[in-house]
């Protein structure tokens, strides 16, 4: 380890030592017959490669103030997040519609909230400064992605399981909104639970990631706390908007203009 400007710099050997914990975890999975050992190793290697690559990209991006580069990076992050959400769902909405619901909901929520934070709250100049824009958008996409994945996955699953109940309501003359209102409410609650729990535990049970990183980087704790409070508010707002948008859009796709439930548009898949 080397001290650089008050921050302890980690060597490749330090990271290698930390990676041994993943090997121990994989061995435990193998011993307990959990079937997770392959995913633990593969995803650990994938995560390392992705972070090293993004580190190189951000080093170049931070030295530039090009709006086009920031936009392209943001667009790539959005597309990748949309794919991850779609891949996590057990019962997926078929075709491009399923991908666009997830991606569109994250675009509406994460991009709008990030823009408000950069333009109005932080008032950074220029507003698309990559040092602020990319990390903020990344945190918003990461958390919104989890909420949307949970909400949409539960909605398709519940509509599939409660098909008879929903169709009976439709036959009684209810519109698709009324026939699925209970399911949609439960799905929105499910998508919001992770961020609500994080807010409840922040500062008491856990020190959130951004705050911890700033403190380790030498930022005064009170200033780090202010930024973390801002981030938590932004994430909660982005997640809420994203989950509500995704659930509403899913309903529009899964019910046709004649108020019929279209379960043929749902296909099963592995998480």
Are 140 and 167 in a shared domain?
Answer: yes
Q: How many domains does the chain have?
A: 2
CA dihedral sign, ordered 190, 195, 201, 206 = positive
Structural domain harbouring 243: 67-268
Cis peptide before 6 (omega within 30 of 0): no
Are 27 and 85 in a shared domain?
Answer: no
Final residue of a structural domain among 29, 48, 63: 63
Are 120 and 240 in a shared domain?
Answer: yes
Core vs surface per residue 119-137: b (16+ CB within 10 A) or e: eeebeeeebbebebbbebb
Q: List, for the chain, all residue ranges whose pLDDT scores fall below the cut of 70.
A: 1-7, 205-210, 212, 216-217, 268-271
Are 94 and 41 in a shared domain?
Answer: no
Q: How many angstroms separate the CA atoms of 159 and 184, rounded?
A: 10
Are 167 and 235 in a shared domain?
Answer: yes
Residue 36: in which H helix or E strand, if any? none
Q: Are 183 and 166 in contact (CB under 8 A)?
A: yes
CA dihedral sign, ordered 19, 54, 81, 196 = positive
Q: What is the pLDDT of residue 41?
A: 94
Are 239 and 121 in a shared domain?
Answer: yes
Q: Which residues pair with 202 in a beta bridge?
A: 206
pLDDT tens-digit readout, 209-263: 667 677 766 778 788 888 888 888 999 999 999 999 999 999 999 998 888 888 8
Are 97 and 197 in a shared domain?
Answer: yes
Are 107 and 200 in a shared domain?
Answer: yes
Final residue of a structural domain among 28, 63, 98: 63
Are 59 and 71 in a shared domain?
Answer: no
Are 76 and 44 in a shared domain?
Answer: no
Q: Are 134 and 70 in contact (CB under 8 A)?
A: yes
Nearest to 155 by CA among 252, 237, 240: 252
Q: What is the pLDDT of residue 271?
A: 46
For 129, residues 6+ apart whose C-beta sits below 8 A from its C-beta are 65, 118
């Amino acid at each position: 380890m080397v001290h650089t400007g008050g921050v302890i710099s980690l060597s490749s050997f330090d990271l290698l030592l930390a990676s041994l914990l993943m090997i121990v975890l994989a061995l435990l999975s193998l011993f307990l017959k959990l079937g997770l050992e392959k995913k633990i190793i593969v995803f650990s290697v994938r995560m390392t490669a992705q972070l090293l690559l993004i580190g190189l990209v951000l080093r170049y991006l931070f030295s530039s103030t090009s709006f086009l580069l920031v936009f392209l990076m943001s667009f790539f992050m959005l597309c990748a997040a949309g794919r991850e959400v779609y891949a996590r769902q057990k019962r997926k909405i078929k075709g491009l519609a399923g991908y666009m619901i997830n991606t569109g909901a994250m675009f509406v929520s994460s991009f709008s909230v990030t823009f408000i934070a950069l333009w109005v709250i932080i008032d950074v100049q220029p507003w698309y400064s990559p040092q602020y824009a990319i990390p903020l958008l990344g945190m918003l996409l990461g958390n919104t992605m989890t909420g949307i994945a949970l909400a949409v996955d539960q909605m398709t699953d519940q509509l599939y399981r409660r098909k008879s109940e929903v169709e009976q309501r439709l036959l009684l003359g209810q519109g698709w909104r009324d026939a699925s209102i209970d399911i949609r409410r439960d799905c929105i609650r499910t998508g919001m639970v992770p961020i609500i729990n994080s807010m409840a535990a922040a500062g008491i049970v856990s020190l959130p990631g951004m705050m911890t990183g700033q403190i380790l980087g030498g930022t005064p704790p009170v200033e780090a706390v202010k930024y973390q409070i801002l981030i938590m508010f932004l994430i909660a707002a982005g997640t809420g908007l994203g989950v509500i948008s995704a659930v509403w859009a899913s309903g529009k796709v899964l019910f046709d203009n004649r108020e019929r439930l279209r379960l043929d548009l749902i296909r099963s898949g592995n998480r």
